[in-house]
Amino acid sequence: MKKDFKPDQLLLGGTAKQEYVPLDGHQLYAKKDGPGMYLSTAIRAKMQNDKKRFWAGDNISDYVAESDIESLITEAAQAFEQVLDALLIDRETDPNSQGTARRLAKMYFNEVMAGRYEPAPDATAFPNDSTDRYEGMLVVRSELRSMCSHHHQPVSGVAYIGIIAANKLIGLSKYTRIAQWCARRGTLQEELCNDIAREIMRATDAEDVAVYIQAIHGCCENRGIMAHSSLTQTTVLKGSFKTDGNTKKEFFDNIKLQQEFAPR
C-alpha cells in the first residue's frame, strides 16, 4: 500500500507522522505496518531528502519535535535490547540489566546527546554601546561533559571562552549554556572547540573570540593506550586573538589566573 506524501506533511502533520513512513527514497510513502517502520526512519529520510547533515556532532532540532522524543526513546530502547542480547547479557533475570536498555536510550536523548535534539539556548543580548561601554576582555570558564564520536566514551574538561566585548553582551551563564549545548553530542575535541567559537560569535556578534579546551578522554583512559593522566588541549583563536600577540597573551595569562584561583 503506497501513497504519495510530501515529506513536510509527514513530519508536520499530526496523525500522518504516526501512520506513514517513506519508502524508496523520497517520494513514496507506505503505511506503517511492521517492524523497521519507525519515526526515526521517517526523520532520517527527510534529512537525507533535504541534504541535512546529521553527524553525531550536528544539531538536528529542526527535524525532531519535543513530542517525538518519547517515541524515539522507545525505538532506541528496543534496539539497545538487541545489543544486550547480542552481548549475551541476561536482561530477563539479571536485576541490574533489566531496565538497562531503556536507561541507555533515555540517557542518550536526554543527557549525553541532548545537544543534538534541543534548539540553541536562548541567549538574550543586551546593548553595550553607551559611552562608558565595556571594552575589555572577558574570560569565562565552563565545565564540559561530552562524548567522543568514535567510541562513545566520556570526555570531561573545561572550556575557557575569551571575548572582546562588541556592541552587545550576553548573560555570563549563557556562555556556559552555549558551550554545554555544543558539548552534549558525539564530538571530537577539535570540532567542539570550533563549534563553541562559532556559536559564541553568532550569539554575541563579536569577531574577537577565543576558545581553549582541556579535557580528559575516556577512550584514552579506559581502553586503547589506558593513559590515565593524558590531557588534550585545543585552541581556536579568531580576530584580534589571532592577529595580536598581546591579546593572545592576555587570554592565556587570564587562564593561568583562573587556574590559580581554582585549579582545573
Q: How far is the CB of 209 from Zn ion (least distance, A)?
A: 27
Nearer to Zn ion among residue 216 and residue 219 (C-beta): 219
SS (H, E, C) the chain: CEEECCHHHHHHCHHHHHHEEEECCCCEEEECCCCCCCHHHHHHHHHHHCCCCCCCCCCCCCCCCHHHHHHHHHHHHHHHHHHHHHCCCCCCCCCCCCCHHHHHHHHHHHHHCHHHHCCCCCCCEEECCCCCCCCCEEEEEEEEEEEECCCCCEEEEEEEEEEECCCEEECHHHHHHHHHHHHCCEECHHHHHHHHHHHHHHHHCCCCEEEEEEEEEHHHHCCCCCCCCCCEEEEEECCHHHHCHHHHHHHHHHHHHHHHHCCC
Convert residues 142-181 into a mask of x (bound to Zn ion by CB under 5 A) and - (unbound): ------x-xx------------------------------
Convert residues 101-120 into a mask of x (bound to Zn ion by CB under 5 A) and - (unbound): --------------------
Q: How far is the CB of 236 from Zn ion (least distance, A)?
A: 20
Q: How far is the CB of 155 from Zn ion (least distance, A)?
A: 8
Total residues in contact with Zn ion, by rule CB under 5 A: 4
Q: How far is the CB of 21 from Zn ion (least distance, A)?
A: 33
Nearest residue to Zn ion, using CB?
A: 219
Footprint of Zn ion on 214-243 (CB under 5 A): 219
Binding site for Zn ion (CB under 5 A): 148, 150-151, 219
